């Protein structure tokens, strides 16, 4: 897609915003409330992206620390802001929800307005396409960040996130990502043991996010509202972002990134090449946008080990969301609720892990209070590129290397404009015909 698209800021393109200082950096000049390490002040959180995940993350942040208050909110859509505010009023104590009409914002520039308030931390939970620009603006504005995954949908966005994470390190700011397995006790202990050599040299692995159909009712409702409420293409595609390739990245990036992140964690590396395949076999209705419903990718890691990656969203099919790592003397199994090691040095947890969705926020707040920034920006960006290169391979039918995807790919999924008006039709990728860019 062309790079001349706007960002909702007159005269600025996405590429220009990523490469240069965004307008949101003006917020750095406004006296703010960057939380002082070692104090007991309130931690003011701003929510950017008021959908279900963003609202849930705000609740998790409040549950993570008695010092957290939700102080500002922003979303592209007024109805989402209203819905989220209502949900938070039901789920968060009144003295912890201090958002006012003056700190509630709507529109494409809502994120800038949240950043211009005196919040200390922002939660980025907008559709994935928007996260690289918003993360950059947040760090430039001097804010600590919790960003949902994925943090990018294309190589351009990945490069931006890596650069932003380096800027955050220089400024002493924390970036914690929504890869909650990194904050879950049985994953942490198993990965420590893997890195200590408890299963020997790693030789293979498998990871899966095979599940039933997802968000069918939402997709149908959005399709109907597109006609009944006369939504523009842009509004429909953003509201239907899970099924819009440019906006959500496809489910291998949006969802399966969790499992691929575990593989990178286990191997303490990113893959060097991949070959993928996939398609759109069951979810063919136009209301499902232009994403695939299944992928299978083989990744090769620097030591020559290969892993099999599968993800699927298909009703009536077998389900499996887990990871398995094979070593010369043992093997691991992990999923969201359990994990163990079999082989020469077996292990299993004695008790269940605390809620990782809350723990990731607790770890973020602890890092801020201790003055010891926790920066997960590069590693989540690399896990996202792992998923992105798998998607690119499946879409095109071509094998590709990490070095090419990271350094040479010119793929930029930015739409022609960022306004509520018509867009070119969504095209479903066809392996062997879709070009590798």
Kindly write down the DSSP assignment for every residue of 241-279, as one continuous string.
GGG-HHHH--HHHHTTHHHHHHHHHHHTS--SEEEEEEE
**The domain that contains 155 carries what CATH number?**
3.40.50.720
Instruction: Report the pLDDT averaged over residues 103-116.
Output: 98
Q: What pLDDT score does 253 carry?
A: 98
Q: What pLDDT score does 21 carry?
A: 34
Range of the domain at 283: 197-351+384-407
Phi and psi at residue 375, in whole multiples of 5°?
Answer: -120, 105
In a domain, 187, yes or no: no
Phi and psi at residue 413, in whole multiples of 5°?
Answer: -85, 10
pTM of the entire structure?
0.92
Residues in the chain: 437
Q: Does residue 394 sit in the same domain as residue 366? A: no
Q: Does residue 66 sit in the same domain as residue 201? A: no
Contacts of 370 (CB under 8 A, 6+ apart): 37, 38
Which is more confidently placed, 6 or 315?
A: 315
> Is residue 12 over pLDDT 70?
no
Q: How far apart are CA 218 and CA 64, in angstroms?
A: 30
Give how many domains the chain has, as a whole number. Answer: 2
Q: What pLDDT score does 36 carry?
A: 43
Instruction: Report the pLDDT averaged over residues 391-404.
Output: 98
In a domain, 101, yes or no: yes
**The domain that contains 226 carries what CATH number?**
3.30.360.10
Q: Does residue 287 sit in the same domain as residue 207? A: yes
Q: What pLDDT score does 40 carry?
A: 52
Among 3-7, 35-39, 378-382, 421-425, the range scoring the smallest mean pLDDT is 3-7
Q: Does residue 339 sit in the same domain as residue 368? A: no
Q: Does residue 222 sit in the same domain as residue 147? A: no
In a domain, 66, yes or no: yes
In a domain, 422, yes or no: no
In a domain, 412, yes or no: no
> Is residue 56 over pLDDT 50?
yes
Q: Does residue 261 sit in the same domain as residue 123? A: no
Q: What pLDDT score does 37 carry?
A: 39
Which tokens in the block code for residue 275?
């070959």
Q: Does residue 321 sit in the same domain as residue 212? A: yes
In a domain, 236, yes or no: yes
Q: Write down the mean pLDDT value for the chain.
A: 92
Q: Does residue 263 sit in the same domain as residue 394? A: yes
In a domain, 50, yes or no: yes
Q: How far apart are CA 208 and CA 382, in angstroms?
A: 18
Q: Does residue 340 sit in the same domain as residue 365? A: no
Q: How far apart are CA 101 and CA 279, in angstroms?
A: 45
Q: What pLDDT score does 41 carry?
A: 84
**Cα dihedral sign, 130-132-135-139:** negative
Instruction: Report the pLDDT averaged over residues 37-50.
Output: 81
Q: Does residue 290 sit in the same domain as residue 366? A: no
Among 311, 315, 294, which residue's Cα sits nearest to residue 217?
315
Q: Does residue 74 sit in the same domain as residue 104? A: yes
Instruction: Report the pLDDT averaged over residues 203-209.
Output: 98
Q: Does residue 173 sit in the same domain as residue 88? A: yes
Quick one: DSSP state of residue 427? P
In a domain, 8, yes or no: no
Which is more confidently placed, 311 or 34?
A: 311
Instruction: Report the pLDDT averaged over residues 75-97.
Output: 98
């Amino acid at each position: 897609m062309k790079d001349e698209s706007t960002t909702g800021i007159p005269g600025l393109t996405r590429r220009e915003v990523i490469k240069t200082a965004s307008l949101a950096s003006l917020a750095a000049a406004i006296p703010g409330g960057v939380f002082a390490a070692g104090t007991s002040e309130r931690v003011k959180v701003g929510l950017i992206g008021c959908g279900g995940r963003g609202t849930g993350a705000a609740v998790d942040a409040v549950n993570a620390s008695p010092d957290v208050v939700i102080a500002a909110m922003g979303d592209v859509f007024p109805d989402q802001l209203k819905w989220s505010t209502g949900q938070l009023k039901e789920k968060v104590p009144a003295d912890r929800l201090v958002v006012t009409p003056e700190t509630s914002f709507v529109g494409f520039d809502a994120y800038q307005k949240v950043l211009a308030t005196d919040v200390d931390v922002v939660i980025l939970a907008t559709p994935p396409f928007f996260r690289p620009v918003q993360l950059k603006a947040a760090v430039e504005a001097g804010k600590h960040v919790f960003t949902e995954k994925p943090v990018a949908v294309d190589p351009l966005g990945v490069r931006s996130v890596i650069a932003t994470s380096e800027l955050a390190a220089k400024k002493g700011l924390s970036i914690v990502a929504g890869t909650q397995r990194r904050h879950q006790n049985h994953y942490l202990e198993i990965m420590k043991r893997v890195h200590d050599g408890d299963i020997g040299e790693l030789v293979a692995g498998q990871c899966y996010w095979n599940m039933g159909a997802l968000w069918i009712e939402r997709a149908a409702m959005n399709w109907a509202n597109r006609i009944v409420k006369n939504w523009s293409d842009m509004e429909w595609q953003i509201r239907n972002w899970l099924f819009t390739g440019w906006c959500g990245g496809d489910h291998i990036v949006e969802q399966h990134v969790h499992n691929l992140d575990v593989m990178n964690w286990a191997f303490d590396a990113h893959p060097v090449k991949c070959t993928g395949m996939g398609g759109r076999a069951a979810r063919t209705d136009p209301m499902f946008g232009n994403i695939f419903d299944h992928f299978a990718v083989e990744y090769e890691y620097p030591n020559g080990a290969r892993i099999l990656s599968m993800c699927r969203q298909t009703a009536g099919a077998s389900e499996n969301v887990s990871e398995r790592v094979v070593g010369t003397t043992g093997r691991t199994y992990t999923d969201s609720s359990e994990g163990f090691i079999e082989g020469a040095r077996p292990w299993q947890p004695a008790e269940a892990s605390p809620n990782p969705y809350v723990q990731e926020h607790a770890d973020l707040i602890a890092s801020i209070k201790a003055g010891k920034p926790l920066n997960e920006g590069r590693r989540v960006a690399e896990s996202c590129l792992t998923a992105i290169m798998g998607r690119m391979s499946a879409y095109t039918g071509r094998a590709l290397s990490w070095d090419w995807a990271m350094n040479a790919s010119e793929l930029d999924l930015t739409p022609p404009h960022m306004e509520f008006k018509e867009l070119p039709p969504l095209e479903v990728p066809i392996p062997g015909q879709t070009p590798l860019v």
